[in-house]
Amino acid sequence: AAAIMSDTHTAPEFMEGFVASVSMIWATELGDKTFFIAALMAMQYSPCFTFTGALAALAVMTVLSAGMGHIVPNVLPPKFTNLVAVILFGFFGVKMLREAYEHADGDGSDPEEMKEAAECLKQKDVEAPEQHGSSTVPKGRAFARFSPVFGQAFTLTFLAEWGDRSQLATIALGTNQHMLGVILGGIFGHAMCTGLAVIGGKFLSEKVSPRTISYFGGVVFLVFAVVTAVHQELPFDLPIPKFL
């Protein structure tokens, strides 16, 4: 921990990792399954407890992912971890652009991610206290109301995020970016995306098409791939133009 805190003096590296992490989260999380889990839960239960439960899970996942990315270069030579990062960024970039190209706009149906999120909620439904007669909950029993909603939001979000492209991308960023910058940027980006989901996820999904989000995300990932390939050491030399 002390080593990480001492690194905060390297402000340019910290800001580079922070901005890259925020951009990556926006590129992957808007319209993702975890986004719609938060949106749908906020429509049924307390938005505040939904937000805190989902964000807690995403924060834990961000710390774990950035930590894994930070440890990997100590086990493998950095040039090989940089190559893996380039491959991951390039793969997700091409995949998202392909999804955007193949997605038909204006068909009136809900995004596939929203359908998956709704199915998750059906499988792990929580009975809200308001459904049992009285709409008010005594102050002394506030935790009884808080616990199941927070727990469900945390569990569903954590499980949905595990192995997701944003987790893998965070690991890749952690291999060659400032660790604390990646962590704080990732948590900040998740807080913004989850906040948007809780406030108006359904409205946003109707106004911004999944195709547009996929195009944006694909371009961001390809930019990350190019920047990593140009500015980080790889196992082989690339024919890079001098202006880059």
Averaged pLDDT of the chain: 77
More confident residue, 110 or 79: 79
Residue 149, both tokens: 């909603």
pTM, to two decimals: 0.69
If one counts every other C-beta atom within 10 angstroms of the C-beta of residue 170, the result is 30
Q: Identify the pLDDT of residue 125.
A: 57
Q: Is the dihedral of CA 75, 76, 82, 84 positive or negative?
A: negative
pLDDT at 57: 95
Would you tell me the crossing angle of helices 78-102 and 47-75 to the nearest 10 degrees? 140
**Residue 196 pLDDT exceeds 70:** yes
Taking residue 100's Cβ as centre, other Cβ atoms within 10 Å add up to: 20
Q: How confident is the model at residue 61 (pLDDT cuts 50, 70, 90)?
A: very high
How far apart CA 230 and CA 244 sit, in angstroms, is 7
pLDDT greater than 60 at residue 7: no
The pLDDT value given to residue 163: 79
- Whole-number pLDDT of residue 139: 41
pLDDT tens per residue, range 28-46:
888 777 888 888 888 878 8
CA distance 172 to 81: 8
pLDDT of 133: 39
Render pLDDT for 178-192 as a digit per residue (tens, 0 to 9). 999 999 999 999 999
Question: What's the pLDDT score for residue 52?
Answer: 93
Backbone angles phi, psi at 221, to 5 degrees: -65, -40
What is the largest distance, in Å, between two alpha-carbon atoms of the chain? 71
